[in-house]
Structure 1
Amino acid sequence: MANMGKKDALAIGTSLLECVLFSGVIIGWPNLQQVLLNLSYFASSCSRGSPVNWTLNFNSSVNGSANIVCSGQQEAFNLVFTLSVSALSLAAFPLGHILDKYGTWVMRSIATTLYSAAYISIACMTPETSWILYPSMISISVAGLALLISNFQLSALTGSCRSVYVTLANGMYDASSLVYLLVKQAHEGGLSLRTIFFAMAGLTLFPWLRTFLVMPRMMARSKKQKRLDSISKDVLIASSDHPAVKQNTEGLSQCLRTVTLWTNVFHFSITNLQMGFYVGTLVSWLDEFLSSAAVESYTNIFGVMLIGGAVVAPLNGLLTDGITNYYKRKIDCKKARTHRGLCVSATLTSLLGIALAASAVCRQVLTSFILLVIYRSFIAGGNASFMALTFPQKHFGKLYGICQTIAGLVALLQYVLFKVAVQSGFVSVHAAMLVTCTLTLLHPYIVYKRSCRYHEVVAENNNN
């Protein structure tokens, strides 16, 4: 990173601020949901035929009145979040394809347009037009992911600190929950939702400026990669046995035949489902055993604690890089060392998921908040690091997109799980997630075995 140019340094620095302001605002959904509930959005879901499950929502700081919230209204909000998270993941593959084929400027222009349109739509929305929330939140989620993916490629400029940057960017993604917490506080302070979201639409000027002033037109490339690109085709063919060249010429079909890619997809899909279910149903879960005043207080605490993801996220990258560097003197094969670091990261992610499910079953609210903050950072950072470190950068967008797309389809189960939780209670669903998360330990085991295999092959070649 010492040889980094001023423009590259500015791109990396401003990317972290962009991640905080835009990339992961959907994570702060419980706080926005509280505001919309108090304004009676989706209240029409409580008309005739609505389920007979009612709760009391008290909002003394805004109007001093109590709002009756039915389960039909809560289901509508849960469906907004479920569709938004699923759309986020399902859009990853086409976004990755756009990035790989058309470049950074095109993808970011699409993302920022979606963001601006979504915020203006929410600003113009009323309780009678609550349906606008569906396309708006989906657009915000998809646009946020597009900006995050466009920033991930900047890891190529950070040299040996790639994992640290990727996980730090994901930590800033978690800190985006602060945005809707501030929206909630501003609304309680007297500002109208219309004013707040028009102001947020104005903030989208920032990603527009970043796109054309500091971001690469196509893809970010380090000086080493630029030198490699300048080598003639004949030299590449003649040097095809060189590891650096091999990694850059590895085909997409070969990547898709890698077993660890699919175990990573399984690992990410299950952990992402659990995380999404927990965040999306947080208010309903707390309503099950706490007073409405306590729920209001805990959602504020949750929004603040998620900011801790910015601190926790780099630990995953430091751990991965630390384990990899630890084996430098013991293992000659770079792939084997890298897989050891990824194995430890994936193992901790699975264990955190098991611990989160257990704390939710026992209704340990603050403990589950702390675990969720760490867990969320490890899920996103671990998946991105796995893709960035295991496969050639030229396929990162497509492979990351495939993983996110499958995870998005699995995430649609959140709404089904919510319906089950309403009927059978949240304890039973969290208990089932505990068992399911245990199965994700299969991925780090296979990654470890692959690491051992790489080490054995290199050792045999050296002996020969």
Structure 2
Amino acid sequence: MFGAIEDQPHIHNRLQQIVSERWEQLRPSRLRAVPQACFRNFVALLLSLQRLTFYSFTAALHSPGSAEAFGNMLRNQGGEMKLQHWLTLLSGLVESLFFTGIAYGWASLVFVLKADGYFAAYCTNATRDEDYAVYTDCSGQDEHFSQVLSVASIATTILRFPIGYVFDRCGTAVTRIVAISLYTTSTLLITLSNADTSVLLYPALSSLIIAGMMLYITNAQVGNLFHSYRSTTITIYNGAFESSAAVCLIIKLLYERGVSLHTSFLFLTLCNIIHCVRTIFLMPRRHIPYPLPETYTYGVSCTVQKRKRRREENDTVQTFKEGDAEKTEKDEKATFRSCVFSWLFFCHLVWVVTIILSQFIFLANVNPMLTRLADEDQTVVSHYTNAFAITQLCGVLFAPLSGLLMDRHKHRPLAPGETSREADLRSAPLALLLSCLLCFFFCVCFTCPVLPLQYVTFILQVFSSSFFYGLHQAFISIAFPASHFGKMSGMAMSLSALVLLLQFPLLHLIQNQLRGDPLYVNIGITVVSLLAFIHPVQVSLYCRELAKQRKNSQLTQQSLRSSDHEAVPSSSLRDKDEAGTSNHLESGVCLT
């Protein structure tokens, strides 16, 4: 499929024509701060990055066994894959791409809100010290817009663990009903708000982000419908979640063409019918199990027989789960505690906090930063805001690259005595290191007060964010027991909210003591980003320790086999040693 794109040069020529036409539509009437050719080069660079992404997938597909595996994914697996599964997958992709993460396009939305006069009461007249000229100081307005996003992001991270608990306890249907209610509330609040009720943006954006996160969590389990391709599905959903921020760009472009903000959000409110239909017909009431039973069904059935069969199957599964829970409840608590207090989780938490802090500080300040660098020229600010939103569209293309790095070892044989989970963990340091480098260079670029350099900042932000969320989910799934995946993932995000509280004093420092210049704060964030490199180093050292223990265990096995082979059968020793190595990786990882 991807090779066919390369073999047809007219497609590339058509892309260049589209870029030229789009440039004529987006080109501002005056652009003092940057030459017009920069935007052409910027869009051309994005197209090159997209082609590079396609080529990466092509290379992966041409590796031994990958093309056949990918083809099996696109075909019905043994005739058991149902149309309903594909409708669930595609509708979930649409939902993730257009609804789950639209609040993260806050920079585009702020431009519209400023034009409508939101928080305009905090703009005051001030006198410039150099020439005593009177100008309008809107630093108070910028501070409120930054705080709206900060409050929403912190509320989401704090509630991440309770959201995961509700999902595990109450199931998919209840979680989605709560999400739909919050989504409707948020869009209606923005629809009914105006400049006099700007304070409604605080609960509106918080509800919008929380609702999107809850919808995303319910969609993550869709990967269970595709067996061994579950990680691919989750990674694509991660990218769609990132790219959905571009919806705010669409709202901004429509606003510039006469469509009001209230009309756009009223349309989003009406789109809730899509979520309701999907909840009823294309999502399970509880959870999608893994591995997937052959007779598993979900959604509303048209006949009484199907409903009865599904009820019997669900009762059987529920009985099994309850019996299993009673049997292992005590051990599970101890295991979860050991995982939370392990060095591996602590270093992962430092990595999470560092990258999230840099991302949110940038998102909260991107609009005032562009305004300051463009000398308050709203035409230039609109131009760069559009460029930032366009890059966010590419998140769905960049996100699977982290999965390719994590799965690069799948077609190589395991070392003697090595488990598949240990091999997965051994492939993590390279991907983690790349995410740290992306975060560091991203911080360096947005620290430099050079307006044309922000094109590179936008690209690195999308790369860094896409890598981060995908790797966070993947690392938790391979480093800790599967029964604790939701709790560990939510715990990391919730604990990071404590550090994100630093946003408020930092934003206050920028707007007041630093007079809107975030240079010194950005330098501090860049230095702090170096802490993220602790994580790949620690994981690499841990993998070496596992390999060393495995080697010592094999030497011990050989020694016992040669000296005591008559008293103890070698097969028993081998089974005991392999079980010890496997148990060390499953539970010992939480004890380091």
| TM bucket, shorter chain | 0.7 to 0.9
- Once the 2 structures are TM-superposed, how far is the Cα of residue 5 of structure 1 from its aligned partner? 3.5
Task: Note the 1:247-396 alignment, pairs <5 A.
Answer: 251-291=335-375, 292=377, 293-323=379-409, 325-326=411-412, 328=414, 332-362=418-448, 363=450, 364-396=453-485
Asked if structure 2 preserves the Cα contact closer than 8 Å seen for 1:116 and 1:201, the reply is yes
Give the secondary-structure state (helix, strand or coil) at the position aligned to 1:209: helix
Distance 1:323 1:285, change over 3 A: farther
From 41, 45, 48, the equivalent of 2:122 is 45
Distance 1:396 1:236, change over 3 A: closer
The aligned residue for residue 134 of structure 1 is: 202
Post-superposition Cα deviations, 1:295-328, rounded to whole Å, max 9, x if no partner, equal 1100011001111111000111111111455574
TM superposition shift of 1:86: 1.0
Give me the whole-angstrom Cα distance separating, in 2, the residues matched to 1:449 and 1:225: 39
Cα deviation per residue 1:306-354 (whole Å; 9 max; x = unaligned)? 1111100011111111145557457722222111222222111111111
Change (3 A) 1:452 1:156: farther
Counterpart in 1 of 2:224? Answer: 156
2:85 maps to 1:8: yes
Moved more, 129-138 or 17-26: 17-26
Corresponding residue for residue 61 of structure 1: none
Equivalent residue in structure 1 for 2:548, among 453, 456, 461: 456
Q: In structure 1, what is the equivalent of residue 17 of structure 2?
A: none
Shift of 1:248: 9.6
Which of 410-419 and 224-233 deviates more?
224-233
Q: CA deviation at 1:24?
A: 1.0
Contact 1:80 1:133 in 2 (8 A): yes
Q: Tell me which of 96, 104, 108 is aligned to 2:176.
A: 108
For 1:166 and 1:199, locate their aligned partners in 2 and report how far apart those are by CA, in whole Å: 28
Offset from partner CA, 1:431-451 (integer Å, 9 cap, x none): 211211111111111111222
Query: What does residue 278 of structure 2 align with?
Result: 210
Deviates more, 1:139-148 or 1:1-10: 1-10
Q: Deviations over 1:149-193 (max 9, x none)?
A: 111222333333333222211110111112111111111111122
1:434–1:11: structure 2 CA closer, same or farther, 3 Å change rule? same
Can you list the C-alpha shifts for 1:178-234, whole angstroms capped at 9, x where unaligned?
A: 21111111111111222111111011211222222111222221336899979979x
In structure 2, the CA distance between the partners of 1:144 and 1:436, relative to structure 1 (3 Å rule), is same
Contact in 1 for aligned 2:227/2:291 (Cα 8 Å) = no
Distance 1:342 1:157 in 2: 25
After superposition, give the CA deviation of every residue in 1:74-120 in whole Å (9 maximum; x if it has no partner). Answer: 00000001011111111111100001111111111101110011111
SS in 1 for 2:382: helix
* Counterpart residue number, 2:109: 32
Match of 1:171 in 2: 239
Please tell me whether the aligned partners of residues 37 and 69 of structure 1 are also in contact (alpha carbons under 8 angstroms).
no
Does the aligned pair in 1 maintain the 2:123–2:136 contact within 8 Å? no
> 1:409-451 CA distances to partner (integer Å, 9 max, x unpaired)?
2222223222333333322222211211111111111111222
What does the per-residue CA deviation read over 1:221-250, in whole Å, with 9 as the maximum and x for residues that have no partner? 1336899979979x999xx9xxxxxx9999
**CA drift at 1:52:** 7.2
Tell me if 1:199 matches 2:285: no
Residue in 2 that maps onto 1:57: none
**Root mean square deviation, CA, Å:** 2.9
Please tell me whether the aligned partners of residues 163 and 320 of structure 1 are also in contact (alpha carbons under 8 angstroms): no
Residues 153 and 219 of structure 1 are in contact (CA less than 8 Å); yes or no, is this contact kept in structure 2?
yes
Q: Contact 1:84/1:137 (CA < 8 Å) preserved in 2?
A: yes
State how far apart, in whole Å, the 2-side matches of 1:263 and 1:216 are.
Answer: 36
Between 1:80-89 and 1:402-411, the stretch displaced more is 402-411
The change in CA–CA distance for 1:432 and 1:225 in structure 2 (over 3 A counts) is farther
Q: Determine the structure 2 residue equivalent to 1:64.
A: none
Give the Cα separation in 1 of the matches to 2:240 and 2:137: 33
Q: How many residues align?
A: 441
2-structure distance, mates of 1:330, 1:312: 34
Question: Which one has a bigger Cα radius of gyration?
Answer: 2
Match of 2:528 in 1: 436
TM-score, normalisation: structure 1: 0.87
Kept after mapping to 2: 8 A contact 1:350/1:440: yes
Structure 1: distance between partners of 2:136 and 2:186: 28
**CA distance change for structure 1 residues 162 and 260 in 2, over 3 Å: closer, same or farther?**
farther
Distance (Å, rounded) in 1 between the aligned partners of 2:410 and 2:538: 17
Of the candidates 395, 406, 423, which is equivalent to residue 495 of structure 2? 406
Q: Mapping of 1:76-115 within 5 angstroms? A: 76-115=144-183
Letter of the aligned partner of 2:491 in structure 1?
I
Q: Is the CA contact (8 Å cut-off) linking 2:224 and 2:230 kept in structure 1?
A: yes
CA contact (8 A) 2:426 2:540 kept: yes
Q: 1:217 to 1:334 in 2, by over 3 A?
A: same
Equivalent residue letter for 1:437: S
Is the deviation greater in 262-271 or in 382-391? 382-391
CA contact (8 A) 1:156 1:220 kept: yes
1:123 to 191, 195, 201: 191
- Provide the identity percentage: 27
Which stretches in structure 1 are left out of the alignment for 5+ residues? Answer: 55-66, 241-246
- From 419, 427, 436, the equivalent of 2:508 is 419
Alignment partners' CA distance in 2, 1:281 and 1:346: 26
C-alpha distance in 1, partners of 2:357/2:236?
A: 22
Q: After TM superposition, give the deviation of residue 127 of structure 1 in Å.
A: 0.5
Please give the alpha-carbon distance, in whole angstroms, between the structure 1 residues aligned to 2:546 and 2:317. Answer: 27
Letter in 2 for 1:367: V
Q: Say whether the 8 Å CA contact 1:90–1:408 is kept in structure 2.
A: yes
